[in-house]
Structure 1
Amino acid sequence: MKAIMKAFKKAVALDSTVHRYLKVKMPEDYLYMENVEVVPLTYSEILSATMYYPVMFGIQDEIVFPFAVIGINNKNIFLKKNGQWKLDTVPNICKHYPFGVFKEEDDYTIIFDETFASSDGERIFDDDGNETEFFSKIKAGLTELARDFHDAEECSKELFEGGYLRTLNLDIETKLGKMQFRNMLIANIEHMSRLQPEKLYNLNSKGYLLILHAHYLSLRNFKLFDIFAEI
């Protein structure tokens, strides 16, 4: 993931020297997501995300990636007032907060939102600068998250370079307001309809064909915004 999720108010790269005595208080709910409208998706969750969220592809600094739209006008419509998620399908990136990963070229760096530093939290490093058991478990999850983001980028890159995605400008109107999407990418259905059987087979064998169709149909989930906004 190249971009940092909007939920991070004060993101910093973790350092065993600088943050030797850092303590972290993990969030008890998802209230930190209340103003987030868009989240990047990992490869393993794309299909499940298309069931409820509009899923599209974006491009930043030549990196193509999938993302889900979860809100509008600084309001996450899938979040209850008590901070609980309205669905069982919570974006993977949310499950690791206030930690995350940031990609710079081919390397991933662990980041942390300093607003969750707390005197009564859990230590990240011990006095010798070694990882605590608490952080080792978190780091293992972040390592898997980075791999999953990498797979999402590889899938998106192949689809883009193969001509299976096309540029889209989209205007959406809901009860909560209007949304404009410029230079987004969606499945190029016309191109896919002209594919030779062997190319279709290759897409299907990789699982990409199902992703393309599911993502394309997920745009109708914008209709759910009016429903979830009232729950």
Structure 2
Amino acid sequence: MKAIMKAFNRAVALDSSIHRNLKVKMPENYSFMKNVEIVPLTYSEILSATMYYPVMFGLQEGVVFPFAVTGINGKNIFLKENGEWKVDTVPNVCKHYPFGVFKEVDEYTIIFDEIYASEDGQRLFDDEGNETEFFFTIKQGLTELARDFHDAEECSKELFEGGYLKPLNLEVDTKLGKMQFHNTLMANIEYLSKLQPEKLYTVNSKGYLLILHAHYLSLRNFKLFDIFAEF
């Protein structure tokens, strides 16, 4: 993912030589997400995310990607005071923090939030510079995360270039405040309704038709912002 999630305070690229003696203490809950309003989504979670979050597509430096809206005015409305998530669908990128992946051109780099470096944490590398079992497991998860982000970008790119997404400038007025979205995209439902059967079949066979409709309907989830405002 090219954009770094707002939760990262001091993101650095992980280097086995520079960070040979690094120890990491993993967070106990999702409190690090308390100020995050936008979360990038991977391909495998788009449909499940539309159950609770407004899901849209962003356009940044020529890259199209799906994202979920989790909050407004610096407050994540899906997070409880004790750091637990209010719904059972937690965005994948949150599950790997304080680690993550950052894409430059076609290469993914592992990043780390330095605020979680701790003397009483777990080591990433042993005295010989080899990966510890702890970091090996972390790295496996990040590799799958990178693949999932890649699939999300490929799907989004195909939808955009095929004319299935159209520009969206949206202002949402909730009890928690107003939100404005620029450089975003949403499903071009009018275009979809005019597709020839063979083209519609192709889009449906790839699973993209379901994604488009689910994302379109997910904009109704902004109503949850009003509901959560009352609690």
Q: TM-score under structure 2 normalisation?
A: 0.99
Whole-angstrom CA distance in 2 between matches of 1:142 and 1:205: 28
Q: Which residue of 1 aligns with 2:111?
A: 111
Q: Distance in 2 between matches of 1:67 and 1:7?
A: 15
Q: What does residue 141 of structure 2 align with?
A: 141
Q: Report the residue type matching 1:184 in the other structure.
A: T
Any idea what SS the aligned residue of 1:224 has?
helix
Q: CA deviation at 1:61?
A: 1.2
- Secondary structure of the residue aligned to 1:3 is coil
Deviations 1:18-66 (A, max 9, x none): 0000000000000000000000000000000000000000011111000
Corresponding residue number in structure 2 for 1:20:
20
Return the alpha-carbon distance in structure 2 between the equivalents of residues 139 and 213 of structure 1.
34
Any gaps of 5 or more consecutive residues in structure 2?
none
What percentage of residue pairs aligned between the two structures are identical?
Answer: 81
Contact 1:26 1:98 survives alignment (8 Å): yes
Q: Which residue of 2 aligns with 1:58?
A: 58
Structure 1 window deviating more from structure 2 (125-134 vs 3-12): it is 125-134
Contact 1:78 1:229 in 2 (8 A): no
Distance 2:36 2:132 in 1: 31
Deviation, 1:183, is 2.4
Matches within 5 A, 1:63-142: 63-142=63-142
The list of structure 1 runs, each at least 4 consecutive aligned residues, that deviate by more than 6 angstroms after superposition, is none
1:184 paired residue number: 184
Q: How does 1:23-62 map to 2 (within 5 A)?
A: 23-62=23-62
Which residue identity lines up with residue 83 of structure 2 in the other structure? G
Verify the 8 A CA contact 1:63 1:157 in the aligned structure 2. Answer: yes
Shift of 1:127: 1.2
Post-superposition CA distance 1:122-178 (Å, at most 9, x none): 001111111100000000000000000000000000000000000011010111100
In the alignment, what sits opposite 1:213?
213
User: Per-residue displacement from partner, 1:104-131 (whole Å, max 9, x unpaired)?
Assistant: 0000000000000000000011111111
Equivalent position of 2:7 in the other structure: 7
What is the TM-score when the length of structure 1 is the normalising length? 0.99
> 1:165-224 CA distances to partner (integer Å, 9 max, x unpaired)?
000110101111000011210000111111000111001000000000000000010011
Q: Is the 8 A contact 1:58 1:66 kept in 2?
A: yes
Offset of 1:229 from its aligned partner? 3.3
Structure 1's unaligned 5+ residue stretches are none
